[in-house]
């Protein structure tokens, strides 16, 4: 429901409006929070911006991962429209930038066009890579490949994506089924609420630590319980059971809390003897994603992280910059936005100085710190 006072979403918030064209063009790969923030910043400065994304609509996980109850899709769409209509940003949906090597990520189903990175580099003055983190982490337990076992993204993605193209994507039917969700992050809680909302007979969340350590926080777990969900803590799956290739249950063992790990959270220590079997028709392992940037090696992303390239967020390929989850792994929207903005600023500075052959003067600008990416 739009309120009279609501200020429109504006990815090009850095300036008062479109600037005179500066004659330079930038390709942004990925239309998630990081890519859109970078595109907005560059558009403010008069760059001609092309945004490529593998999905049918811009917004990335803000639109296809996070449920509409949390982020209204209309607001993102309106921000994108402003970029397109007022700032002349060109959006190229359903286009994946490839390295001629097939990468199998969630959401690849929609890519109908493949563009080579070198082609983009040749066709633009600079490139911003903001492809995010789309590779689900695996549970690494036997039975993970049974029918009825999904990753968090594989579960959440079709709920939104099916609205765009039913022939390629359909929602996972959970009605009347017994759903077990593994994990306790925000995507786990979103999966659990999604399953409850779609009429699952029973939804259980399984976490190896307690609600005190849960990344989503105990408040979210209370809301889940209030909505009729079952919260099971101090249990970890050891194998997924099934017959004829179809999941039927999860074998779990009891854990207790041990010494704190690197994050300061107490780690879950399995008790070998106490096993139990939970019946399940659908199992969702929502234990997070990892970054899956294409050409990671060629771009030298590891060197970017270690600040070995003396230009903020530039990769080993001259003029190719990287931002957001693709650089620093899964994080929050705000971190991705900040990373995208800083990279765009760095990109613009580099192009400007290069234009007057002075780029070497500023090579030693203090690199982005851990604090900046955290």
Instruction: Compute the distance between CA of residue 132 and CA of residue 285 in angstroms, rounded to an integer.
Output: 20
Select 220 or 248, whichever has its Cβ closest to other proteins.
Answer: 220
Q: Is 102 in the site for other proteins (CB under 8 A)?
A: no
Q: Residue 175 corresponds to which tokens in the numbers above?
A: 């009605």
CA distance 30 to 25: 16
Task: Specify the 3-state DSSP secondary structure of 298.
Answer: helix
How many Å is the maximal CA-CA distance in the chain? Answer: 70
**The one among 284, 337, 351, 368 contacting other proteins by CB under 8 A:** 337
Stretch 64-83 residues interacting with other proteins (CB under 8 A): 66, 70-72, 75-76
Complex with other proteins: residue 169 or 286, whichever CB lies closer: 286
Stretch in the footprint of other proteins (CB under 8 A) among 47-55, 161-169, 314-322, 327-335? 327-335
How many DSSP H helices and E strands does the chain contain? 12, 17
Strands 246-260 vs 266-279: parallel, antiparallel or unpaired: antiparallel
Q: Is 16 in the site for other proteins (CB under 8 A)?
A: yes
Q: Under the criterion CB under 8 A, does residue 357 sit at the interface with other proteins? A: no
With beta carbons less than 8 A apart as the criterion, state whether 186 and 193 touch: no
Nearer to other proteins, 12 or 283 (CB): 12
Cα–Cα–Cα angle for 182, 186, 192, rounded to 5 degrees = 50
CB of 67 to other proteins, least distance (A): 10
The footprint of other proteins on this chain (CB under 8 A) covers a number of residues equal to: 37
Concatenate the DSSP letters of all residues of 51-98 into one string.
EE-SSSSTTTHHHHTS-TTTS-HHHHHHHHHHHHHHH-PEEETTEEEE
| Residue in 33, 143, 285, 294 binding other proteins, rule: CB under 8 A | 33
Residue 99 or 372 having the CB closest to other proteins: 372
Measured between alpha carbons, how far is 198 from 167 in angstroms, rounded to an integer? Answer: 21
By beta-carbon proximity to other proteins, the closer residue of 69 and 165 is 69
Task: Tell me how far apart the alpha carbons of residues 104 and 51 are, in angstroms, rounded to a whole number.
Answer: 21
Residues 193-222 that bind other proteins (CB under 8 A): 214-220, 222
Work out which of 147, 306, 310, 332 binds other proteins, going by CB under 8 A.
332
Considering the complex, what minimum distance in angstroms separates the CB of residue 173 from other proteins? Answer: 27
**Candidate list 57, 124, 160, 342; residue touching other proteins; CB under 8 A:** 342
Nearest approach, Cβ of residue 371 and other proteins (Å): 11
| Alpha carbons 171 and 198: distance in angstroms, whole number | 10
Strand partners, 275: 253
The binding site for other proteins (CB under 8 A) comprises 3-11, 13-14, 16, 33, 37, 62, 66, 70-72, 75-76, 214-220, 222, 332-335, 337-338, 341-342
């Amino acid at each position: 429901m739009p309120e009279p006072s609501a200020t429109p979403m504006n990815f090009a918030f850095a300036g008062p409006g479109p600037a005179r064209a500066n004659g330079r063009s930038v390709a942004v790969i990925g239309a998630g929070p990081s890519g859109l923030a970078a595109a907005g910043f560059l558009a403010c400065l008069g760059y001609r911006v092309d945004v490529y994304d593998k999905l049918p609509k811009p917004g990335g996980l803000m639109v296809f991962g996070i449920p509409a109850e949390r982020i209204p899709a209309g607001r993102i769409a309106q921000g994108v429209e402003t970029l397109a209509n007022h700032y002349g940003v060109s959006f190229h949906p359903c286009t994946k930038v490839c390295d001629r090597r097939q990468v199998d990520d969630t959401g690849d189903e929609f890519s109908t066009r493949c563009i080579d990175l070198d082609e983009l580099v040749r066709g633009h003055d600079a490139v911003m890579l903001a492809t995010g983190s789309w590779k689900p982490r695996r549970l690494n337990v036997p039975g993970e490949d049974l029918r009825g076992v999904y990753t968090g993204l594989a579960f959440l993605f079709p709920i939104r994506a099916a609205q765009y193209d039913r022939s390629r994507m359909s929602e996972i039917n959970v009605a009347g089924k017994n759903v077990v969700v593994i994990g306790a992050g925000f995507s786990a809680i979103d999966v659990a609420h999604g399953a409850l909302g779609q009429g699952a007979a029973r939804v259980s969340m399984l976490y190896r630590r307690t609600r005190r350590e849960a990344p989503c926080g105990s408040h979210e777990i209370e809301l889940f319980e209030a909505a009729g969900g079952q919260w099971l803590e101090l249990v970890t799956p050891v194998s997924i059971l099934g017959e004829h290739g179809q999941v039927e249950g999860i074998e779990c063992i009891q854990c207790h809390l041990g010494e704190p790990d690197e994050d300061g959270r107490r780690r879950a220590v399995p008790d070998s003897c106490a096993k139990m079997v939970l019946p399940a028709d659908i199992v969702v392992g929502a234990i997070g994603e990892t970054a899956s940037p294409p050409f990671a090696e060629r771009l030298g992303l590891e060197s970017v992280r270690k600040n070995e390239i003396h230009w903020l967020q530039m990769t080993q390929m001259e003029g190719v910059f990287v931002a957001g989850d693709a650089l620093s792994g899964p994080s929050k929207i705000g971190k991705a936005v900040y990373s995208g903005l800083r990279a765009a600023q760095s990109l613009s500075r580099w192009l400007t100085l290069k234009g007057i052959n002075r780029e070497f003067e500023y090579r030693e600008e203090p690199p982005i710190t851990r604090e900046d990416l955290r």
